[in-house]
């Protein structure tokens, strides 16, 4: 595709299909022309407030029409968007606003019981660069401008877009989740963002005829590329949800004749298991993407068998955002999609190396994923040390454990920090998880390490039992015997009602504060094997 700015992507769609519905939110519907005109007006209003190319503005909003037009307005201006997930609270949001040097922030007054205006006003003494708060909803304060007022004023101004070098000028800062340290802002250009959004279509053969459901937060790398950018590139229609509710999603699929659903494993599991799923006609849903965590064994097959939906997973990260680097091309056989995350996309070179030494490993061996390509971040904002740490000799080191298999397909096992060292033996959690999930009383499983004074680390199985079922460690060990080596059998069992997630809502929180590893270690009731 041509090297377009993201503002030009919306302009191109508005010229090609001006009267086609671009976005649906409840009873509100906007055509591509209406969306383009509103984005241009909002850009003019922001320009009148002094925002210019290179400034940073944080977007701290729920999925909404206001979100979409704000994003494309800022792209028109050459303003760099600093993403703040709406589930973030003060410490997380304040860090991103400080680190990015955001000159403005766009918010709703309230969502899910949280007062964003109050939170921002309480932060302001620590945010000297923050001159403007643009508020959708009621409220006032120093430096606070009403969203509708900015839009209205923009309609009465002429808009002068700046010249952009799409391959050099930044579109956005995608902040990593920061599970074990401070978040880092991946610097992504306009050209990277536009091309990255298109890569998602490779896995499901998405076209202009498709209707997307937006269950992902668009402030997340996956949601940004697959939901915010991809449908505009394809001239497709997007139906928004500000938060995921399984029955509401099923209702929307039926009502709006949704055809594509980019989502996380949790979304599919909740839909699949919902007691009223059979009450809704979801036959329009033909395909979907799945990411955010490794898809549990058998989930892709179950969704295809029970819902008639072609599902494929992929590998992506903020550092190649808002896109991906590896995906199964459409159409791929079910056995391939169940076993692998796919092949590298065009322009991506992938190596599997030994962690710590960077020695390239042969086919079939598990090591760290490293890659090069057009989509790799330009570096981390205001963080040259982390940039040097993860970009070594031109290779981006991701910390993901993978193996290259026959046919250049890649299998993913987790993160390098997931690796458990039990008495010198290396255990890959995914190997155990893929077996334990087949136990008839198991709904969800995650393997973590707990400290052991003799072995160094123990294998702890954190399990969510199926409703009303009980489970013991010895039952789990008996289920696994004969399937794996004895030293891989879990030493401990921690029964849980649910797994903690990062505030973005998509990824499991394994190692952060309040994460699975911490909860398992502190759980005095966890069962332990007595040899």
Model pLDDT for residues 407-439, shown as the tens digit of each residue: 999 999 888 888 898 887 888 888 899 899 999
Task: Catalogue the E-assigned strands of 418-516.
Answer: 420-422, 425-427, 442-452, 456-465, 492-495
Confidence of residue 61 (pLDDT cuts 50, 70, 90): very high
82-109 pLDDT per residue, tens: 999 998 888 889 999 999 999 999 999 9
Residue 179 has pLDDT above 60, yes or no: no
Residues 121 and 268 in one domain: no
Weakest-pLDDT range from 172-176, 285-289, 431-435: 431-435
Percent of residues in the chain assigned helix, strand, coil, to nearest 5? 35, 25, 40
Confidence of residue 505 (pLDDT cuts 50, 70, 90): low
Helix (H, G, I), strand (E, B) or coil at 186: strand
pLDDT computed for residue 83 by the predictor: 98
Residue 178 has pLDDT above 70, yes or no: no
pLDDT computed for residue 183 by the predictor: 87
The mean pLDDT of 243-268, rounded to a whole number, is: 96
CATH number at residue 275: 3.40.50.980
Residues 213 and 174 in one domain: no
Domain boundary among 367, 391, 415: 415
Residues 242 and 253 in one domain: yes
Which residues constitute the domain of residue 245? 200-346
The mean pLDDT of 256-262, rounded to a whole number, is: 98
For residue 358, what is the DSSP state? -
pLDDT computed for residue 181 by the predictor: 63
Confidence of residue 180 (pLDDT cuts 50, 70, 90): very low
Residues 288 and 261 in one domain: yes
For residues 79 and 66, what is the distance between their CA atoms, to the nearest angstrom? 17
> For residue 325, is it within any domain?
yes
pLDDT computed for residue 503 by the predictor: 65
The mean pLDDT of 291-311, rounded to a whole number, is: 92
Residues 473/476/482/484 CA torsion (nearest 10 deg)? -90
Residue 376 has pLDDT above 90, yes or no: yes
Residue 502 has pLDDT above 80, yes or no: no
What angle (nearest 5°) sits at the alpha carbon of residue 392, between those of residues 390 and 394?
110
pLDDT computed for residue 50 by the predictor: 97
The number of folded domains in the chain is 4
Residues 85 and 32 in one domain: yes
pLDDT computed for residue 303 by the predictor: 97
For residues 105 and 96, what is the distance between their CA atoms, to the nearest angstrom? 11
Tokens describing residue 311: 């599902």
pLDDT computed for residue 266 by the predictor: 84
437-484 pLDDT per residue, tens: 999 999 999 999 999 888 889 999 999 999 878 999 999 999 999 888
> For residue 191, is it within any domain?
no
Residues 312 and 460 in one domain: no
The mean pLDDT of 140-169, rounded to a whole number, is: 96
Residues 238 and 294 in one domain: yes
Tokens describing residue 278: 């059979």
Residues 367 and 342 in one domain: no
Confidence of residue 292 (pLDDT cuts 50, 70, 90): confident
Helix (H, G, I), strand (E, B) or coil at 419: coil
219-241 pLDDT per residue, tens: 999 999 999 999 999 999 999 99
Segment holding 23, helix H or strand E: strand 21-25
Domain boundary among 323, 346, 369: 346
pLDDT computed for residue 501 by the predictor: 82
CATH number at residue 353: 2.30.38.10
Domain boundary among 325, 346, 367: 346
Sign of CA dihedral 408, 409, 411, 412: positive
Mean pLDDT of the chain: 94
Return the residue matching tokens 């059998």: 489
In this prediction the pTM is 0.87
């Amino acid at each position: 595709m041509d090297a377009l700015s993201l503002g030009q992507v919306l302009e191109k769609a508005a010229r090609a299909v001006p009267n086609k519905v671009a976005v649906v939110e409840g009873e509100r519907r906007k055509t591509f022309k209406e969306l383009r005109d509103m984005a241009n007006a909002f850009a003019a209003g922001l320009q009148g407030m002094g925002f210019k190319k290179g400034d940073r503005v944080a977007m701290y909003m729920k999925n909404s029409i206001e979100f979409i037009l704000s994003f494309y307005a800022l792209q028109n201006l050459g303003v760099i968007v600093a993403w703040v997930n709406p589930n973030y609270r003060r410490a997380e949001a304040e860090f991103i606003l400080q680190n990015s040097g955001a000159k403005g922030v766009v918010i709703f007054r309230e969502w899910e019981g949280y007062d964003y205006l109050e939170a921002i006003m309480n932060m302001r003494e620590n945010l000297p660069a923050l001159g403007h708060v643009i508020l959708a909803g009621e409220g006032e304060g120093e430096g606070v401008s009403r969203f509708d007022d900015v839009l209205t004023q923009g309609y009465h101004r002429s808009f002068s877009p700046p010249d952009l070098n799409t391959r050099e000028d930044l579109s956005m800062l995608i902040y990593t989740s920061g599970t074990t340290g401070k978040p880092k802002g991946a610097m992504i250009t306009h050209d990277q963002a536009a091309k990255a959004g298109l890569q998602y279509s490779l896995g499901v053969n998405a076209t202009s005829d498709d209707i997307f459901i937006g269950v992902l937060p668009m402030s997340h790398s996956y949601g940004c590329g697959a939901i915010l950018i991809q449908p505009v590139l394809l001239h497709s229609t997007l139906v928004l949800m500000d938060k995921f509710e399984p029955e509401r999603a099923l209702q929307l699929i039926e009502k709006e004749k949704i055809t594509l659903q980019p989502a996380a494993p949790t979304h599919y599991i909740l839909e699949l298991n919902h007691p009223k799923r059979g009450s809704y006609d979801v036959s329009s849903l033909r395909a979907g993407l799945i990411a955010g965590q490794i898809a549990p064994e058998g989930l892709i097959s179950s969704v295809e068998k029970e819902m008639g939906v072609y599902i494929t997973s992929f590998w992506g990260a903020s550092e190649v955002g808002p896109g991906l680097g590896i995906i199964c091309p459409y159409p791929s056989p079910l056995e391939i999609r169940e076993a692998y995350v796919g092949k590298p996309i065009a322009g991506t070179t992938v190596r599997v190396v030994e962690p710590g030494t960077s020695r390239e490993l042969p086919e079939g061996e598990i090591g760290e994923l490293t890659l090069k390509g057009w989509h790799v971040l330009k570096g981390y904002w205001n963080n040259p040390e982390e940039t040097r740490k993860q970009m070594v000799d031109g290779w981006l080191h991701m910390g993901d454990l993978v193996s290259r298999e026959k046919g250049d397909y890649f299998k993913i096992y987790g993160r390098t920090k997931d690796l458990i060292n039990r008495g010198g033996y290396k255990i890959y959690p995914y190997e155990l998880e893929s077996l334990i999930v087949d136990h008839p009383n198991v709904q969800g499983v995650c393997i973590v390490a707990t400290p052991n004074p003799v072995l160094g680390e123990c294998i702890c199985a954190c399990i969510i039992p199926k409703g009303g079922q009980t489970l013991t460690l010895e039952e789990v060990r008996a289920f696994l015997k004969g399937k794996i080596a004895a030293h891989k059998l879990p030493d401990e069992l921690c029964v849980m009602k649910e797994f903690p997630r990062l505030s973005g809502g998509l990824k499991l929180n394994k190692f952060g504060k309040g994460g699975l590893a911490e909860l398992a270690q502190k759980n005095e009731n966890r069962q332990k094997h007595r040899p």
